[in-house]
Every structure is written in C-alpha cells, then in structure tokens.
Structure 1
C-alpha cells in the first residue's frame, strides 16, 4: 500500500473530524447530521481520496 495515500487519507479523516466536532448540536442539525455521524462521515470522505 502506498504510504503517501494512507497518510493523506488519515489526515483528511482527522481534519474532517476536527472541523465537525467544533460545531454545536444546532449547527450539526442544520447540516442534517448528529455527533454520532461524524466519524462515519469522516471515514467515508477519507476513502474517496
């Protein structure tokens, strides 16, 4: 497996989790997601890279 691609996916996952985690529950609700959705969404996003 390509280490660079793995690192980019991991970095993307962490960035997405960090950015969504700072939003309050109302902001998340406005986006149609819950706190429990953050990690699966971040994982899905990172896999596209």
Structure 2
C-alpha cells in the first residue's frame, strides 16, 4: 500500500513539474513543439504514464 502512495505522489509531482515547465513557454515555443496552451494538461498527464 505504501508503494502505491509513493508511486501516485511521484506521478503527481512529475505532472505538476511538466505543467509548470510547459506553462512557462511562449506561444511560439509551444507552437514549435506542436502543443497549444489547451493541450498542456493533456500532454502532462500523458507524460506520467
């Protein structure tokens, strides 16, 4: 059970870090990556899988 909590917390931290980093990018930089501002949470969620 403890391992599950640690795994979920680690995934959440990675998700938040990804959202924060992508949110700091300019619209141009996001566009170069093929990501829109609306896609940031989706991309971050996929990065934790």
SS state at 2:25 partner? coil
**RMSD across aligned positions (CA):** 0.9
Alignment of 1:1-49 (within 5 A): 2-46=4-48, 48=49
Relative contact order: is structure 1 or structure 2 higher (C-alpha 8 Å, sep ≥ 6)? 1
SS state at 1:33 partner? coil
TM, length-normalised to structure 1: 0.90
Unaligned stretches of 5+ in structure 1? Answer: none
**How many residue pairs were aligned?**
47
Q: Which has the higher helix share?
A: 2
Unaligned stretches of 5+ in structure 2? Answer: none
Deviating runs (4+, > 2 A) in structure 1? none
The structure whose Rg is larger is 2
Counterpart CA distance in 1 for 2:43 and 2:33 is 12
